[in-house]
Amino acid sequence: MKKGLITLLVLLAGLFSLTVRADVMVLVHGYLSGAQSWDGSGITDVLQRHDWQRAGVYVAGPAGIQLIPAPGMQAERKFYAVDLPSEAPVLVQVYQLREILAAISNTHGAEPVVLVGHSAGGVVARTALVRGDARNVKALITIASPHLGTVRAEQALDATDIPFPISIVTDLIGGDAYHTAMRSRSLYVDLVRPQPGTLLYWLNGQPHPDIAYFSIVRGASEMGGGDYIVPTYSQDMNNIPALRGRSSLINIPAHHGLEPVDGSVIVNLLSDL
């Protein structure tokens, strides 16, 4: 059984003596975020300090996929960030991620790819794998991802389920948060807890490719806290029926957002692939 618990202290203790061997990393952001989230969290700084070079950003827009290149495209180890429409349904984001992965494959040939997804981005990346759209992928790392859904999505659906004609008033006086939630309803539907007829119910029963899986899970510290958006059990891919016992588990006491330590953990995990 591959499942194991890798503690944060062990990861950090051996970090600087390890050699990274993966070639292409693709960073997939979460809901209400974008490619800049990896920079703002300090993760890309950590990657660059460990010889991963910035290769560029793929932006998905109305005109298609656009690459904003960076100098590291020819480096031995490089990473791309993607910019997807984070309010869109999962399958819309998967379609655009598929186009990006195809472009990366065309550029880098058979070089192995590691997908790293934060929050809903982990579900998007895993769905792309199950649909067979991710060529040359050898590992999936997810960070605080709602693989078994989140009640927060259900609460958001309830809060925006406003009947006519009251909806006319709320559309007129609702603030930015309300209008963002209304635009995101189709995504919330995709992230509810699995039950027959939902995307996650279907996804979690599908055959998954024989690659390495890593679940970076937000656990509560002795001082309290933890992830209030996605419950810990939902973040662990070992709880997915099709992946039971196949994911390594890394527990980091933190809130839902990205942290610099995630970069250190990613670098360490890839050293063993």
Query: What is the count of structural domains for the chain?
Result: 2
* Whether residue 118 is found in the same domain as residue 180: no
User: Strand, helix or coil at 101?
Assistant: helix
* Whether residue 168 is found in the same domain as residue 46: no
Is residue 114 a contact partner of residue 137, using CB atoms and an 8 Å limit? yes
Cα-Cα end-to-end distance for the chain: 17
User: Strand, helix or coil at 5?
Assistant: strand
Nearest to 248 by CA among 128, 141, 114, 126: 141
Please give the backbone phi and psi of residue 219, each rounded to the nearest 5 degrees, phi first: -105, 160
* Whether residue 40 is found in the same domain as residue 158: no
* Whether residue 200 is found in the same domain as residue 112: yes
Integer Cα distance of 266 and 11 in angstroms: 10
Residue 63: which domain range?
Answer: 4-147+196-270
- Pick from 139, 172, 190: which residue ends a domain? 190
* Whether residue 141 is found in the same domain as residue 156: no
pLDDT one-digit tens code per residue, 125-183: 999 999 986 679 999 999 999 999 999 999 999 999 876 555 554 665 557 888 899 99
- Pick from 190, 220, 246: which residue ends a domain? 190
Ordered DSSP codes for 179-241: HHHHHTHHHHHHTSPP-TTSHHHHHTTS---SSEEEEEEEE-BTTB---SSS-HHHH-GGGSG
Judge residue 109's burial from the number of C-beta atoms within 10 Å of its C-beta, 0-12 exposed, 13-18 middle, 19 or more buried. exposed
* Whether residue 171 is found in the same domain as residue 71: no
Integer Cα distance of 105 and 32 in angstroms: 27
| Mean pLDDT, range 51-76, rounded to an integer | 95
How many H-runs (helices) and E-runs (strands) does the chain carry? 12, 9
Is residue 153 a contact partner of residue 114, using CB atoms and an 8 Å limit? no
- Pick from 163, 190, 217: which residue ends a domain? 190
* Whether residue 93 is found in the same domain as residue 210: yes
* Whether residue 87 is found in the same domain as residue 171: no
What's the whole-model pTM score? 0.89
* Whether residue 53 is found in the same domain as residue 133: yes
* Whether residue 17 is found in the same domain as residue 94: yes
pLDDT one-digit tens code per residue, 173-227: 557 888 899 999 999 999 999 999 999 999 999 999 999 999 999 987 656 678 9
* Whether residue 182 is found in the same domain as residue 53: no
